[in-house]
Structure 1
Amino acid sequence: MRRLASCSCGQLCIEVQGEPDGVGVCHCLACQRRTGSVFAALAGFAAPYKVFGTATEYIRVGDQGAKFKFRFCPVCGTNVFHTEEGYEQSWVAVAVGAFADPNFPPPQDSVYDCRRHSWVQLPPGIKAYEKDPT
């Protein structure tokens, strides 16, 4: 199954294959600021993946020292996907909203629950972690 995710204006797109390896939400303050929302919803996919268009990149260092490279559309500013340094050729995380698919699989994991807004309700059966479990 081919899945296509894109920014608001359609200039930046990523094509992934198959079902996601995992879907999760992150409530960390960096993700809240990055998305402009109260959490980020992400889906991980194994390579291969194809990128179409031009991206602006932003590198952020995570709590455990990993470097994440976020890709944004330079036209509309939408954050579409990111990779982790050292894993660019094998794995990509795509913003669930960029698929614009209300039938997309629900999250299985929630990280940085310590930063979750009190009014955000998690789906039944989701595994919640106070911080990043890795």
Structure 2
Amino acid sequence: MARIASCACGNLRATCTGEPRKVSLCHCLACQRRTGSTYGIAAFFGREDVQVDGPSKCYTRQGDSGFAVRHYFCPDCGSTVFWEPLRRPELIAVGVGSFADPSFPAPSQAVYGEYRHPWVAEQS
């Protein structure tokens, strides 16, 4: 099975084969700022299972782990499509919203719950 994630304008795409190794909902403040929402949701795939096509720009930030995280976004529309958590170099994280697929697997975990907005339901 292959799924295609893309930016809003379609110029940056990530084709992911197989099922994600993990889907995680993150309430951290960095994800809130990155998404403009109250949380971010990432699907983690093995690096070998992701093919990226199209132009991208990279923004690198320091993660809480002490390792950098490289975020790749479309230089035309600005949508972040995927990122590389350097703490786990064998993985690529892809924004679940970039798949625009309501049938995508649900998160199996939620992290940084201490930053969850009180009106956002807890993941069960």
Give the TM-score range, shorter chain. Answer: over 0.9
1:94 alignment partner in structure 2 = 94
Shift of 1:66: 1.1
| CA distance in structure 2 between the partners assigned to 1:111 and 1:76 by the alignment | 28
8 A contact 2:25–2:41 mirrored in 1: yes
Structure 2's unaligned 5+ residue stretches are none
Equivalent pair of 2:110/2:123 in contact (CA under 8 Å)? no
Q: Give the counterpart letter for 1:105 in structure 2.
A: P
Higher relative contact order (Cα pairs below 8 Å, separated by 6+ residues): 2
RMSD: 1.2
Structure 1 residues 44 and 13, CA, compared in 2 at 3 Å: closer, same or farther? same
Q: Distance in 2 between matches of 1:122 and 1:102?
A: 19
Q: Tell me the TM-score normalised to structure 1 length.
A: 0.87
Name the aligned partner's letter for residue 113 of structure 2. Answer: D
The alignment covers a number of residue pairs equal to: 123
Cα deviations by residue, 1:13-67 (Å, 9 ceiling, x for unpaired):
0011101100011111111011100000110001321111011100011112011
Structure 2 partner of 1:24: 24
The amino acid of 1:120's aligned partner reads V
Q: In the aligned structure 1, how far is the partner of 2:68 from the partner of 2:6?
A: 23
Within 5 Å, give how 1:1-134 maps onto structure 2: 1-48=1-48, 49-85=50-86, 87-88=88-89, 90-124=90-124
Percent identical among aligned pairs is 46
Is this contact kept in 2: 1:24–1:43, CA < 8 A?
A: yes
Contact 1:16/1:47 (<8 A) preserved: no
Unaligned runs of 5+ in 1: 125-134
Aligned-partner SS, 1:8? coil
